């Protein structure tokens, strides 16, 4: 029987309203370009009452064990804590356009991901989208195209190209206006979601938080 990633069942529940209070699969800490320490981000996640989330620092997994340790502390103190999934935001080239890929739920010590966890964008053949997706899936992770409507190329072209390369999904619900309090951009996100369904893509959502709150960017 082929491997069915346990995160799939979670992503299948994603709707326009699951972020930012239930799920958040796109946020950052001081380990890349965010403003929160990993511990403070964990505190925020517990305070909000998140059920599932991933820290997706750029080309880094440094925050993951620190966030998990802080969540364990909250659990030992009697608090309900969310499920933390591994995550990294990886840059790559798709259709001659530099895009970002959310690597979610991969094995943290798998060698296939090592080139993409060195704190900076790779160069050469490893920068290609096909190579990035291959590495993520080799580490038993899911590869999702981040914020498809933020690039210089139309999201339809990018998502279809991603589908042909075997991407698992796309970040469907995203705040393209980058408001202080997160809210999905209604018309754009609905069009992205419709195409995701046509492509049989998993859908994710996230605040892409870089500031001091997980409720906004």
- For the segment 94-102, the average pLDDT, to the nearest whole number, is 98
User: β-strand 202-205 against 169-173: which pairing, if any?
Assistant: parallel
Domain ranges of the chain: 19-205
pLDDT at 217: 86
The neighbour count for residue 216, using CB atoms within 10 Å, is: 18
What is the residue-averaged pLDDT of the chain?
Answer: 97
Across the range 164-171, mean pLDDT stands at 98
Tokens (6 digits) for 98:
């530099």
Look at residues 43, 32, 89 and name the one whose alpha carbon lies nearest to residue 67.
43
Residue 39 has pLDDT above 90, yes or no: yes
Residues paired with 27 in a beta bridge: 209
The string of DSSP letters for 61-101 reads -THHHHHHHHHHHHHHTT---PEEE-EEEEEEEETTEEEEE
Does the pLDDT of residue 1 top 60, yes or no?
no
Q: Residue 2 — pLDDT band, cuts 50, 70, 90?
A: low
Residue 62 in tokens: 């440094």
Token reading at 190: 């609905």
Spatial separation of the C-alpha atoms in residues 95 and 53, rounded to whole Å: 29
Please tell me the distance from the alpha carbon of residue 181 to that of residue 203, in angstroms, as a whole number: 21
CATH level 3 topology of 19-205: TIM Barrel (3.20.20)
Task: Over range 89-104, report the average pLDDT.
Answer: 98
Distance of CA 156 to CAs 34, 136, 173, Å? 29, 23, 15
62: region left, alpha or beta (phi > 0 left; psi from -120 to 50 alpha): alpha
pLDDT at 3 over 80: no
pLDDT tens track for 176-193: 999 889 999 999 999 999
The string of pLDDT tens digits covering residues 112-158 is 999 999 999 999 999 999 999 999 999 999 999 999 999 999 999 99
What is the predicted pLDDT for the residue at 48? 98
Residue 10 CA from chain centroid, whole number:
13
pLDDT value at 45 more than 90: yes
Pick from 103, 92, 84: nearest CA to 23: 84
Q: How far apart are CA 108 and CA 178, in angstroms?
A: 30
What tokens does 89 get?
């935001």
Q: Are 74 and 81 in contact (CB under 8 A)?
A: yes
Residue 197 has pLDDT above 50, yes or no: yes
Percent of the chain residues topping a pLDDT of 70 = 99
Dist CA 103 CA 140 (whole Å): 10
């Amino acid at each position: 029987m082929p491997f069915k990633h346990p995160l799939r069942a979670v992503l299948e529940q994603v709707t326009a309203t699951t972020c930012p209070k239930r799920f958040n699969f796109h946020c950052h800490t001081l380990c890349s370009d965010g403003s929160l320490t990993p511990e403070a981000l964990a505190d925020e996640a517990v305070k909000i009452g998140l059920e599932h989330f991933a820290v997706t620092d750029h080309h880094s997994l440094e925050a993951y064990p620190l966030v998990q340790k802080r969540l364990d502390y909250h659990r030992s103190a009697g608090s309900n804590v969310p499920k933390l999934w591994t995550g990294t935001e990886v840059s790559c080239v798709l259709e001659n356009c530099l895009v970002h890929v959310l690597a979610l739920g991969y094995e943290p010590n798998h060698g296939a991901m090592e080139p993409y966890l060195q704190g900076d964008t790779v160069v050469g053949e490893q920068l290609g989208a096909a190579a990035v997706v291959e590495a993520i899936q080799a580490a038993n992770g899911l590869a999702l195209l981040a914020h498809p409507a933020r690039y210089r190329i139309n999201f339809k072209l990018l998502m279809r190209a991603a589908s042909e390369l075997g991407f698992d999904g796309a970040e469907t619900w995203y705040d393209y206006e980058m408001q202080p309090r997160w809210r999905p951009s209604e018309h754009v996100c609905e069009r992205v979601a419709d195409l995701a369904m046509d492509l049989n893509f998993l859908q994710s959502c996230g605040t892409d938080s870089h500031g001091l709150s997980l409720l906004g960017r």
